[in-house]
Chains A and B, each alone.
Chain A
Amino acid sequence: MKTLTIARRELQAAFNSPVAYIVAVAYLVFTTVWVFFLNQFFAQNEASLRIYFTIVPTVFIFLVPALTMRSWAEERRMGTLEVLLSLPFREGEVVLGKFVGIFGLLLLVVVLSLPLPLFLSRMGVFDWGQIAGQYLGVLLIGAAGISVGLFISALSTNQVAAFILTGLALVALTLAGQLPEAVGLPSWLSAVLGYVSFGHHFDSFNRGIIDSRDLLYFLLAIALFLFLNVRVLMVRKSS
């Protein structure tokens, strides 16, 4: 209940500023341009949305920081955090509330993008199980990104710094799995990098495989950064 109170405030703030609208439009435009113009979807002549979803992690590198940068940095800059901390919430409830609110926004953006794949799906026989897995992957990688972004925003007082640092962190996390291919690292290292990489785990979902390990990976990543976020709040209070 208290979590939802915070989540609703977060959504209200997003819709009262242009950020939510810009993010929604940017997501729709990027993905559309990618599928039809850069990848010539129709020329591929394949009844699969894999190409469409391949770009999503990259788009999130830019969009997720835009969603999360304000969350803590702005509250600290304006001093509203002081009021928030004096309200009868536990720190965990505030963190979770912000996460749920921003995830709600991302969910909305993803729902707005549904018409495109639905439109394409009438042109061939698609594997709906795979599409469900792809959407699950999108939501999980988005949620993990939000968790990272919230944590970084909690560390900064400046929105721009939060945006850039979150973007860098997401580049590293998303692309870590591709690094070994590029530079030829030892196999154990590429295995490790692959394992910590968002992109690597997202690929399984994109192939239509729902592996409990990938699911667990994302859930753990989300939980880890939310936990670190709570720790940041606690450390701030005692420093």
Chain B
Amino acid sequence: MIEALGLSKRYGTLEAVRDVSFTVSAGEILGLLGPNGAGKTTIMKILTCGLFPTSGTARVGGNDVLSAPLAVKESIGYLPENAPLYPDLTVREYLRFIGDARGLRRVEWARALERVVGECGLSDVIDRLIGELSKGYRQRTGLAQALLHDPRILILDEPTTGLDPSQIVEIRELIRKLGTEKTVMLSSHILQEVEATCHRVLILSAGKVVAQGTKEEMERGMRGESLLDLTLRVRAALDATMLAQVRGVRRIVSQAAGPEGRLELRLALAPDAGAEEAIFDWVASQGAKIIAMVPQRISLEDIFLSLTERPQQ
């Protein structure tokens, strides 16, 4: 349903998006995950025809964003970040405008309005001015805007920012429900959000895709790494950074001094390299003792943090 082919976007000298490719199949919920400034919004703007890519292109619902923007816009519902709305219209007037823009006839519009008002829980505020609404209702009005023409494809930029916890749960539930019949793409910088709602995740960092797959695929070691928690008792000064040189050890993820001369380390290991034995030997040769050696499952959070917090070149 959505296909990005080598998308790049440069703003002056800043490369906001670099050679990003991905696909979202029908009936799938894809989460774009990344810290602020990773390029999530830029990608969404390109997919919704608000920006032209510097190079590459994308097909949304089978139509090219560059050569058939009108067809693309007709097939999508888009909720930009912070749900921008006209404060001086009532919810009904606003959705009327959207209905006209979407070319809905009166009867169709009335039916669509009833549907989205129910789905988004807007019946109490339908005749209130948008400017007077709480953040939660505004977000829902924005979502109603995106849903009014019952699009096949939904693109939601940070759909739950600024909502309180119970509202977040409601919106996530709604997105999951919508995801059973629509193709949904949402962005977030919050991991739990993506874990809770998405089938598949695309992790972005500094404009590049650093990982993608289902949650399970990623946890199985998307990059072929496994984690090992190691607790040592060291007598003298030990240069633990030397551990990174040991065969099978890719890098030291974290390192902290514990009580009673303990040193707690988390190591990332290459798969099937027999690193555990090499580590044992190295520690023994340094005159230190291994208190514990615990293999860890990599969680999505670890992947996210390790991929996005590394210094950029």
Contacts and interface: CB of A to CB of B under 8 A. Distances in A.
Nearest to B10: A239
Contacts of A78: 84, 86-87
A85 B49 contact: yes
Contacts of B51: 237-238
B76 A12 contact: no
A95 to B, nearest CB: 15
A88 B93 contact: no
Contacts of B101: 2, 5-6, 87-89
A17 B89 CA distance: 11
B176 to A, nearest CB: 23
Contacts of A238: 51-52, 54
Contacts of A79: 80-82, 84
Interface string A141-164: 000000000000000000000000
B103 interface: yes
A16 interface: yes
Contact of B50 (A6, A16, A82): A82
Contacts of B84: 78-80, 82-83
Interface string B37-81: 000000001001111101000000000000000100110101011
B281 interface: no
A90 interface: yes
A85 B50 contact: yes
Contacts of A9: 86, 97
A86 interface: yes
Contact of B76 (A17, A82, A86, A239): A86
Counting contact residues on chain B (CB < 8 A from A), the size range is: 20 to 34
Interface residues of A, number: 23
Chain A, interface SS category? helix
B145 interface: yes
Interface in A61-86: 78-80, 82-83, 85-86
B243 interface: no
Given A79-B82, A80-B84, A239-B11, A86 B50 contact: yes
Interface string A1-45: 010011011001100110000000000000000000000000000
Nearest to B47: A86
Nearest to B11: A239
Given A12-B89, A16-B88, A17-B88, A87 B80 contact: no
Nearest to B80: A82
A13 B86 CA distance: 8
A34 to B, nearest CB: 33
Nearest to A16: B88
B100 interface: yes
A62 to B, nearest CB: 23
30 contacts: A6-B101, A8-B100, A12-B97, A13-B88, A13-B89, A16-B88, A16-B89, A78-B84, A78-B86, A79-B80, A80-B85, A82-B45, A82-B48, A82-B50, A82-B78, A82-B80, A83-B80, A83-B85, A85-B49, A86-B48, A86-B50, A86-B76, A88-B70, A88-B101, A89-B101, A90-B70, A237-B50, A238-B51, A238-B52, A239-B11
Given A82-B50, A85-B49, 15 more contacts: A8-B100, A9-B86, A78-B87, A82-B45, A82-B84, A83-B85, A86-B48, A86-B50, A86-B78, A87-B101, A88-B103, A89-B101, A90-B70, A237-B51, A238-B51
Interface of A: 2, 5-6, 8-9, 12-13, 16-17, 78-80, 82-83, 85-90, 237-239
